[in-house]
Amino acid sequence: MNRILVCIALLLGSVRDPLLAQNDFPDPNFDTKLDAEAFKKEYPSLLDATSFEVKLSKGNILLLIGKKYSQLKLVQRPDLLVRQFWAEYSPVIEKLPEDTDGTSVQYVLNDDDDEPQLRWKKYPQGTPDFTVVDKELVRLKTVQDTLHITMNKADQQAELYLLANDLRDIPLLLDEIREKTTYLLTSMEKRTDPVVLDRSPEVYGRYLGNRQVQLVNFGSDMLIFNPRVGLGYIRGHWMTSLDLGATLYLEKSPIKPTVGYQHQYFFGQNAEGGFKAYQNGFVLAGLSFFKKSEKGTIGRKPVVQTGQLTVGYLVQRRGTYYEPRTWRVTGAIDLTPHLRVAPEVYFNGTFKNLTPGLRLSVGL
């Protein structure tokens, strides 16, 4: 019966999106960002692509682990799963000898009619520690017990680890597990769309207590298109430009390559004295630079572009504005998300006829 109630609760929870969003919690504090590499080192060979840590009282810790954010819906109410385990096996746990050895329990639940699978393992404490109580030497337990619950449903799987000082303390932790886990997941979904979290190749979160939440989200890579129009002054002539660029935003790489094409229009007179537009074109390649931002977004990412460094080569030439084999080096600075200033240097051949230029452009 307990198992049926747990499955019903998990099913009801899994259809709510955003997760547990109806709870009215105080706004979390996101002052510090989670260091993903340091987080992984704390739990070597344990974490998966989506992993969350909840700091409980007295050094107890809860971990929620899955390959995707959506899979964590299977364990979004870890208190129910832990409660089910305790209801079935508390008589066994309470009869365990009170020694300093660690206990590891693996508990596997399936969505079919299979019985839960259970494995127990005892492992001795490495270095003995002692204290004095009532003038008697008492050996201290310094290793934590581990409750590892795996939830399988169809082709999805999620896990939770309860790292407890003593498995006998489970009843004292149930309310705390529910409240703190709900707060962490709700806070994350207030900050980042669950769809983005689910598409991200890596997501890590932590609840440290006292509304302190840490989050790092390695969102999926994306291709950013940058159409722009501009006005420039080059070699004593005014010109307008039309740019079309594309930047490959690689989430986990500091290098964001960009390619593009710039069409330039110079206006002058032809041999008959009439008005004529002279078109010149450059192919471009280089790097784009971004920074994290709480105010701006590109796609669904909280980033803004700060600048760009490109090298261009003349592929279309009309008029006498450029010599054959002309190169261009541009270092652009984004003044706002839409306004950019771009100092440039033009030359042909091996740095011949070096000429500065300047452009202002607006766009995406």
pLDDT value, residue 18: 34
Residue 301 is encoded by which pair of tokens? Answer: 């990412």
**At a CB cut-off of 8 Å and minimum separation 6, what does 244 contact?**
225, 226, 227, 260, 261
Out of 218, 242, 271, a domain closes at 218
How far is it, in rounded angstroms, from Cα 233 to Cα 228? 16
pLDDT band, residue 212 (cuts 50/70/90) = confident
pLDDT value, residue 97: 80
Please check whether residues 114 and 237 belong to one and the same domain.
no
Q: Are 243 and 363 in contact (CB under 8 A)?
A: yes
Please check whether residues 143 and 280 belong to one and the same domain.
no
pLDDT value, residue 107: 94
Structural domain containing residue 325: 222-363
**At a CB cut-off of 8 Å and minimum separation 6, what does 95 contact?**
none
Q: Is the pLDDT of residue 126 over 70?
A: no
First-to-final CA distance of the chain: 58
Please check whether residues 43 and 86 belong to one and the same domain.
yes
- Rounded percentage of the chain residues whose pLDDT exceeds 90: 47
Q: Quick one: average pLDDT of 135-148?
A: 71
Please check whether residues 214 and 227 belong to one and the same domain.
no
Q: Give the residue, 79 or 45, on which the prediction is more confident.
A: 79
Please check whether residues 129 and 229 belong to one and the same domain.
no
Residue 322 is encoded by which pair of tokens? Answer: 């450029």
Q: Is the pLDDT of residue 131 over 70?
A: no
- CA atoms within a 13 Å half-sphere pointing along the CA-CB vector of 131: 6
Q: Is the pLDDT of residue 246 over 90?
A: yes
Please check whether residues 171 and 236 belong to one and the same domain.
no
pLDDT band, residue 15 (cuts 50/70/90) = very low
Please check whether residues 123 and 239 belong to one and the same domain.
no
Please check whether residues 154 and 228 belong to one and the same domain.
no
Please check whether residues 141 and 53 belong to one and the same domain.
yes
pLDDT digits (tens, 9 = 90+) for 271-296: 777 788 899 999 999 999 998 776 77
pLDDT value, residue 140: 60
* Tokens 């010599």, residue located: 323
Q: What single-letter amino acid sits at 151? A: M
Q: Are 217 and 30 in contact (CB under 8 A)?
A: no
Out of 218, 241, 261, a domain closes at 218
Q: Quick one: average pLDDT of 97-111?
A: 86
Determine which helix (DSSP H) or strand (DSSP E) holds 207, and give its type and residue range. Answer: strand 202-209
Q: Quick one: average pLDDT of 116-130?
A: 75
DSSP state letter for 298: B
Please check whether residues 231 and 206 belong to one and the same domain.
no
- CA atoms within a 13 Å half-sphere pointing along the CA-CB vector of 190: 18
Q: Please tell me the least confidently modeled range out of 19-28, 117-126, 138-147, 231-240.
A: 19-28
pLDDT value, residue 36: 80
Q: Quick one: average pLDDT of 207-226?
A: 82
- The whole-chain average pLDDT of the chain stands at 84
Q: Are 318 and 280 in contact (CB under 8 A)?
A: yes
Domain count, the chain: 2
CATH number of the domain residue 273 falls in? 2.40.160
Please check whether residues 152 and 55 belong to one and the same domain.
yes
pLDDT digits (tens, 9 = 90+) for 142-154: 688 999 999 998 8
Please check whether residues 128 and 247 belong to one and the same domain.
no
pLDDT value, residue 326: 94
Out of 163, 188, 218, a domain closes at 218
Q: Which residues of 4-24 are buried (b: 16+ CB within 10 A; e: fewer)?
A: eebbebbeebeeeeebbeeee
pLDDT value, residue 133: 56
